[in-house]
Amino acid sequence: MVRDGVIEDYVIGGATALLYFSVPNFVTEDIDVFVHLKDKPSSSLIDVSPLYNYLISRKNAHIQGEYIVVDDFPLQFLTPYDELSSEAFANAMSVSPENIPFKIFKLEYSMAIMIQLGKEKYVERLRTLMKHSLYNKEKLESLLDRFDLKPKWLALARRPEGLQ
């Protein structure tokens, strides 16, 4: 879609990106694809119809609920929604597992986003990541400080079940 001019750029986020860094025990129903659209929206409403039309016509995709399904993989298209997600997008890393190149959010950015959003499934993922010590503590601390997420982080750590 980048090559064909449908989007400017993309980055894989969510649990799919986390699989690159950890033991594969994260369950997800979709692949979160963050995109920079070719035509910047003039409002907060995002028109993803060019992406859907492209995938339906070129990749035999179909719409299923909130997803578009390509080759049995449900995709959800998102745009960076704030400063943290925008910085995560700008600092994405390129990976090539099995010689298939794509970009993903760096682990510490993914963790900061999970802390920011605070959903219970993200707390469970954070526990797993911390248990395996796969992240750079200094980088995460820096993000938490810069994006004022330290209070949320500390609140999660103080839970009876903690994060360790």
Q: With bands split at pLDDT 50, 70 and 90, how would you rate the model's confidence at 41?
A: low
- Checking if the pLDDT of 27 tops 90, the result is no
Run of H or E residues at 45: none
pLDDT of residue 146: 98
Among 101, 102, 107, residue whose Cα is nearest residue 129: 107
CB 114 within 8 A of CB 68: no
pLDDT of residue 63: 94
- Percent of the chain residues past pLDDT 90, beyond the cut: 63
Residue with tokens 């103080």: 158
Domain 7-157 has CATH 3.30.460: yes
- Name residue 108's beta-bridge partners: none
pLDDT of residue 104: 97
Instruction: Kindly state the tokens that stand for 82.
Output: 């704030």
Q: Any idea where the domains of the chain sit in the sequence?
A: 7-157
pLDDT of residue 158: 86
Residues 40, 67: Cα–Cα separation, whole Å? 22
The average confidence (pLDDT) of the chain is 89
Each residue's pLDDT tens digit, 77-132: 999 999 999 999 999 999 998 898 999 999 999 999 999 998 988 988 898 888 88
Q: What's the pTM value of the predicted model, to 2 decimals?
A: 0.90
Residues 39, 109: Cα–Cα separation, whole Å? 26
Instruction: Kindly state the tokens that stand for 30.
Output: 């979709």
Comparison of pLDDT for 46 and 90, the residue scoring more: 90
